Amino acid sequence: MVRANRPASAFTNAQISGFYFRPCRDEYDEVVFEYFRCRCGT
């Protein structure tokens, strides 16, 4: 079996999910943590 060494990721999982999923805001511009907006285009 051949093992491929993958290079270390430049970003953490938290950074990646923080980029794609932003918390929604209510009408008073306060963060609503239960709902998220996705930037993935779907």
Domain holding 41, by residue range, is 10-42
**CA 36 vs CA 2, 11, 17: distances in Å:** 41, 21, 11
Q: How many domains does the chain have?
A: 1
Q: Would you say residue 24 lies in a domain?
A: yes
pLDDT at res. 34: 75
Whether 34 is in a domain gets the answer yes
Task: Tell me how far apart the alpha carbons of residues 34 and 42 are, in angstroms, rounded to a whole number.
Answer: 19
Per-residue model confidence as pLDDT tens digits over 3-36: 878 777 788 988 888 777 777 888 888 888 777 6
Q: List, in order, residues 6 or more apart from 23 with CB less than 8 Å away.
A: 31, 32, 33, 35, 36, 37
Residue 5, domain member (yes or no):
no
User: Per the domain annotation, does 4 fall within a domain?
Assistant: no
User: What residue ranges in 1-42 does DSSP mark as E strands?
Assistant: 21-25, 31-38
| pTM for this model (two decimals) | 0.44
